[in-house]
Structure 1
Amino acid sequence: MIRLETHCHTRYSKDSLLLHSLLYIKCRLCHIDAIAICEHNNILGALKFKEYCSKRKNKVFVIVGEEIMTSSGEIIGLYLNEEIPAGLSCDETIDRIISQGGVVYVPHPYDEKRAKTVLSEDCIRLNSHRIDCMECYNGRNVDENYGIQQTRIADKYGLVKVVGSDAHTLMEIGRNYMEVKSVPLNSSEFRDVIKRCTFHTKPCIKLAHKVTKVAKLMKMIVKGNFNEIYRVINRKIKK
């Protein structure tokens, strides 16, 4: 059986410092055969990791994805050839994924801690016929009830369920994945294998959330985004 891990981030995301060299080593150690890299609002990280893996003797198949912030919350596109800009409507974002022959994938459809990024249920309802799959479990769920609610939403709209890693750090890789019959080389094969897969999940490593916050802060400092740092600190104080 093939181990497929979806919804992973690297240093090309605003909140991750994960190097491609370390990611590759961890994939090999954890026997991850295929991985979907889904950076926030860009496909550069996925393209770079795909190139990196292609030069290695022991290949890891890389699915080029993107976690796109729409006006209604986040949607993932898999098997993309072109980057999709953030800020578009839910409908247009899905249109653009489909026009590339990609997979429309909904991450964490319920998460109280990330309510601002959760795709609205109205968007899910209206586009259920165009959504290929939805996470019934996300590796960053801090509460087991989130997975229960995610499964409920997927079942409510009759959507194919998947497990999403959402790994941002090295410690999270290889913990949440699906066992499938073959490496999904294209979007059609992906849709086929996820219908008959086995889920492997482990509880969230809460320390990883803290590491992510540090990573995001470090990147803002390096870029000189001190106004944004001030706004974040101010929001924390007001809470």
Structure 2
Amino acid sequence: MIRLETHCHTKYSKDSLLLHSLLYMKCRLCHIDAIAICEHNNIQGALKFKEYCSKRNNKVFVIVGEEIMTKSGEIIGLYLNEEISAGLSCDETIDRIIEQGGVVYVPHPYDEKRAKTVLNEDCISSNSYRVDCIECYNGRNVEDSYSVKQTSIADKYGLVKVIGSDAHTLMEIGRNYMEVDFIPKDRSEFKSVTQSCTFHTKPCIKLAHKVTKCAKLIKMIVKGNFNEIYRVINRKIKK
């Protein structure tokens, strides 16, 4: 069986420091055959990792994806050829994914700890006929109840269920994946294999959330975004 891991981040996301060399090594060690790289609001990480793997005989198949922040929360597009801008409406973002022949994928449809990034359920409802799949489990769920709620949303709208790794760190790679019959190389094949895949999940590594926060802070310091650092600290103090 083929191991497919979706919704992964690398150093090209604002909250990850994961190097492509380490990601490749971990994929090989964990027998991950295909991986969807979905950086926040860019496809550069996916394209770079795809290039990296091509130089190593494509032993890891890379799906080019993007986790896009819309006006109503995050949507993932898979099998993209062009980057999709953040800040568009939910409908327009889905339009642009479909125009590229991509997979419309809803990540973490319920998460109390990341409520600002969760896609508004009204958007899921009104676009359910255009959504190809939705996460019923996310590797960063800190509570089991979130998965229960995510599954209920998927069932409510009759959507195909997938699990998302949402890995931002090396320690998270290879823990949450789907076993499928073959490597899906386009939207049609992805839809086919996810109809009858087997889920393999493990509990969230809560330390990974702390590592992510540190990565984000380090990147802000390196870029000299001290005003943003001040705003973050100020919000924490007011809480």
Structure 1 residues not aligned, in runs of 5+: none
Q: What secondary structure sits across from 1:220 in the alignment?
A: helix
C-alpha RMSD over aligned residues? 0.5
Q: Which amino acid aligns with 2:49?
A: F
User: How far apart, CA to CA, are the structure 2 residues paired with 1:32 and 1:155?
Assistant: 28
Q: Which amino acid letter does the alignment assign opposite residue 91 of structure 1?
A: D
Q: Does 1:138 pair with 2:138?
A: yes
Distance in 1 between residues matched to 2:133 and 2:57, nearest whole Å: 32
In structure 1, the partner of 2:165 is 165
**What is the number of equivalent residue pairs in this alignment?**
239
Hey, what's the Cα distance between the residues in 2 that align with 1:52 and 1:34? 14
Q: Which residue of 2 aligns with 1:67?
A: 67
- In structure 1, the partner of 2:54 is 54
Q: Which residue of 1 aligns with 2:188?
A: 188
CA distance in 2, matches of 1:147, 1:177: 15
Match in the other structure for 2:82: 82
Letter in 2 for 1:143: E
Ranges of 4+ aligned residues in structure 1 off by more than 3 Å: none
User: What is the CA deviation profile of residues 32-84 of structure 1, one whole-angstrom value per residue up to 9, with x for unaligned ones?
Assistant: 00000000000000000000000004610000000000000000000000000
Structure 2 residue aligned with 1:28: 28
In the alignment, the residues of structure 2 paired with residue 191 and residue 103 of structure 1 have an alpha-carbon distance, to the nearest angstrom, of: 8
Structure 1 counterpart SS, 2:124? helix
Separation (CA, whole Å) in 2 of partners of 1:58 and 1:75: 27
Alignment TM-score, normalising by the size of structure 2: 1.00
Matched residues, percent identical?
Answer: 86
Q: How does 1:90-101 map to 2 (within 5 A)?
A: 90-101=90-101
SS at match of 1:130: coil
Taking the aligned partners of 1:161 and 1:185, their CA distance within structure 2 comes to 19
Matches within 5 A, 1:209-224: 209-224=209-224
Give 1:37's aligned amino acid. Answer: I
Paired position in structure 2 for 1:155: 155
Cα distance in 2 for partners of 1:57, 1:184 equals 17
Please give the alpha-carbon distance, in whole angstroms, between the structure 1 residues aligned to 2:185 and 2:100.
15
> Which residue of structure 2 aligns with residue 207 of structure 1?
207
Deviations along 1:119-152, one digit per CA (max 9) or x if unpaired, are 0000000000000000000000000000000000
Aligned to 1:177: 177
Cα distance in 2 for partners of 1:24, 1:134 equals 26
Superposed CA deviations along residues 172-197 of structure 1, whole A, max 9, x for unmatched, are 00000000000001111000000000
Work out the CA distance in 1 between the residues paired with 2:224 and 2:59. 38
Which residue in the other structure is 1:236 paired with? 236
Q: Distance in 1 between matches of 2:164 and 2:184?
A: 16
Q: State the partner residue of 1:225.
A: 225
Cα distance in structure 2, aligned partners of 1:96 and 1:56: 32
Q: Distance in 2 between matches of 1:62 and 1:92?
A: 26
> Given the alignment of the two structures, is residue 12 of structure 1 paired with residue 12 of structure 2, yes or no?
yes
Aligned-pair distance for 1:106? 0.1
